[in-house]
Amino acid sequence: MKSYFSILKIVLHGRSAGKILLATVFSFTFSIAVILCTFGLMDGFDHLLKSGLRHSSGDLLVTSKKGFFLISENLKENFESIRPLAVAPVIQTEAFALYQGISKGVLVRGIEPENFSQATGLKVELPDDGLVIGEELAQALKVGPGDEIALTFGRGNASSDSLPTVRQFKISGLIKHGIYQKDLRLVYLPRKNLAQILDVKEWVNLVILTTQDPAKPLESLEIIQKDQQRLRRLLEQDYFVRPFWSEYSFLIEAVKVEKLSISLILQMIVVVAVFNIMAFVIYIMEKKAQDFFFLRAVGLSLKKLMRFWFISIFIVWAVACAGAHILSMFFNWSLANVSFLQIPGEIYVLSSLQIRLDSTAYITVYLVSLVWVLIAGLFGYWRLKRRPIVQGLRQEFSS
């Protein structure tokens, strides 16, 4: 190690060498951070989207072509064939939410809080006479817990029932799914109250099934797809079985495709940073050429000199990786706390974004960057090896 630090002092002697090295390390750090953050944003978007959808839809949604239906014993047996962790019967209907002249179209769900929470992993504290609405809807209506809003329900096409029904409800709480449209539209009522308003008794028009633990991230969609296919074969043709992501399947597929294509494009940023490293290598080789060749002339072997270069290249890579991790953490914090980085949910679907990085992302980005930086190291080795000692000494004495 003594010989390493001695050579390092020679390399960094003078102000310009140190400044160029710092600039090189920063550019490489920033390049890795950009790719990490891009990977993290893609994975974070995918995770938040799936999590938000599961919190509102469970794993599978069963509906009928006829609209409302009774959950018969035969239907229950078919549900049990996929061994669900929870089954949540739901009444779902459209309505208008009104408050002080402001109106919003909403999707009202009549639920039983206990089994709905088991099915979706979303805790809904819903008293018998209460109403829970999404956070975005509360902001749009400018209401909060304790306020009363009116819900206007349609009553069919018969002449005697053509007039809508208007009911007042007190807001008992707010809820957040993580998806902007869900937080803007969904309203929750006790199922028995909504059944009474619509006069449907024990009939429902939606059943939410959960086969995987909603508290754990879903790594693969294939398990849900297999359960969907099995249940679809068992149920009659009158029923539809949809996975929770069916509404946003195009987005999930787009993220997969874009993640690969963008990662390939962003490698150009790393290549530019590697060119900076090569430029630093060339600068040091030319600026300190006489010192290197003099050291070789007095006994420093090419092997030790190359060991110095590759150790230095590895240290630059390690520092850049550590710096990129810190920058990615800072950017993730900024996404949550800096106002101008907040995303419009009506455009990007999610209420917020986050950077989510797993070990696979780190290993992939760091290994690819290590390959590039080793290429720069080999370039330096090639430049030094192709020039014999005699030529370096001749250059020293002629100067």
HEC per residue, 71-123: CCHHHHHHHHCCCCCEEEEEEEEEEEEEECCEEEEEEEEEECHHHHHHHHCCC
Angle at 60 between CA 56 and CA 63, to 5 degrees: 95
Domain range enclosing 210: 59-243
Of 329, 250, 262, nearest in space to 42 by CA: 262
The distance in angstroms from the start CA to the end CA of the chain is: 32
Same domain, 20 and 119: no
Q: CA 254 to CA 228: how far, in whole Å?
A: 22
Range in 62-66, 259-263, 299-303 with the lowest mean pLDDT? 299-303
Same domain, 76 and 225: yes
Same domain, 222 and 270: no
Same domain, 269 and 224: no
Instruction: Work out the pLDDT band at 275, boundaries 50, 70, 90.
Output: confident
SS3 of 216, please?
coil
To which H or E segment does residue 226 belong? helix 222-234
Answer yes or no: is pLDDT of 157 > 60: no
Boundary of a domain, candidates 212, 227, 243: 243
Boundary of a domain, candidates 243, 276, 296: 243
Boundary of a domain, candidates 224, 243, 262: 243
* 204-256 residue pLDDT tens: 999 999 988 887 877 778 888 888 888 888 887 888 999 988 888 887 777 77
Q: State pTM to two decimals.
A: 0.71
Same domain, 205 and 106: yes
Q: CA 11 to CA 23: how far, in whole Å?
A: 15
Range in 103-107, 110-114, 374-378 with the lowest mean pLDDT? 374-378
Of 73, 94, 105, 68, nearest in space to 199 by CA: 68
Q: Are strands 239-243 and 206-210 parallel, antiparallel or unpaired?
A: unpaired
Same domain, 87 and 185: yes
pLDDT of 162 reads: 59
Same domain, 202 and 335: no
φ, ψ of residue 155 to 5 degrees: the values are -130, 35
Angle at 105 between CA 101 and CA 171, to 5 degrees: 70
Residue 163 bridge partners (DSSP): none
Residues 6+ apart with CB under 8 A from 103: 96, 97
Q: What residue type is assigned to position 8 of the chain?
A: L
Sign of the C-alpha dihedral computed for residues 231, 237, 238 and 243 taken in this order: positive
The pLDDT of 50-63, averaged and rounded, is 86
Same domain, 143 and 228: yes
Same domain, 391 and 329: yes
Q: CA 149 to CA 137: how far, in whole Å?
A: 12
Same domain, 219 and 70: yes
Instruction: Work out the pLDDT band at 397, boundaries 50, 70, 90.
Output: very low
Same domain, 261 and 376: yes
Q: Return the number of other C-beta atoms located less than 10 Å from residue 172's C-beta.
A: 18
Same domain, 223 and 267: no
Q: Number of structural domains, the chain?
A: 2
Of 123, 115, 106, nearest in space to 71 by CA: 115
